[in-house]
């Protein structure tokens, strides 16, 4: 008979490893936003027109945001794969559907700031990001 404690540990490792396995970096969105920023005639981005998956809210995180602040704002566990806490070159955009993070994007600052308004989050119905170039 196998050791029940070993089986439990293995099960926890497998389940823990799967908790973010379906969270993917959305590189197509990153490329689309970069193209829009490079096009000087663009002053805003409508995020919902660029996504192809279900999401209820998207949260933006500015450079140097800590892991704790990200999880507090999201209200769910999410290990920041970009290490935003140590970076000043990107914004992190995290998409949530239900109680689960479903996608994230690293948005290159490119001498640009992005405004999400005072709400601090986006929804599919209210999805405008303003581009502020330097």
Query: Tens digits of per-residue pLDDT, 28-49?
Result: 999 999 999 999 999 999 999 9
pLDDT at 129: 93
Q: Sign of torsion, CA 85 27 113 59?
A: negative
Whether pLDDT at 9 is above 60: no
The upper half-sphere exposure of residue 81, i.e. CA atoms within 13 Å in the direction of its Cβ, equals 13
Tell me how far apart the alpha carbons of residues 112 and 54 are, in angstroms, rounded to a whole number: 28
**CA–CA separation, 12 vs 121, rounded Å?**
33
pLDDT at 15: 40
The pLDDT value given to residue 67: 96
Rounded to whole angstroms, how far apart are CA atoms 44 and 38?
A: 12
Which range among 14-28, 59-73, 98-112 shows the weakest confidence by mean pLDDT? 14-28
What does the block give as tokens for 98? Answer: 């239900």
């Amino acid at each position: 008979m196998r050791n029940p404690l070993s089986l439990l540990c293995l099960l926890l490792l497998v389940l823990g490893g799967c908790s973010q396995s379906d969270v993917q970096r959305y590189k197509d969105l990153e490329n689309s936003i970069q193209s829009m920023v490079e096009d000087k005639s663009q002053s805003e981005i409508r995020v919902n027109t660029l996504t192809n998956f279900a999401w209820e809210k998207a949260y933006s995180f500015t450079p140097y945001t800590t892991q704790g602040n990200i999880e507090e704002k999201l209200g769910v566990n999410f290990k920041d794969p970009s290490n935003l806490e140590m970076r000043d070159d990107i914004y992190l955009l995290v998409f949530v559907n239900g109680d689960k993070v479903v996608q994230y994007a690293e948005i290159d600052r490119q001498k640009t700031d992005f405004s999400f308004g005072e709400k601090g989050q986006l929804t599919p119905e209210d999805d405008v990001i303003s581009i502020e170039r330097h």
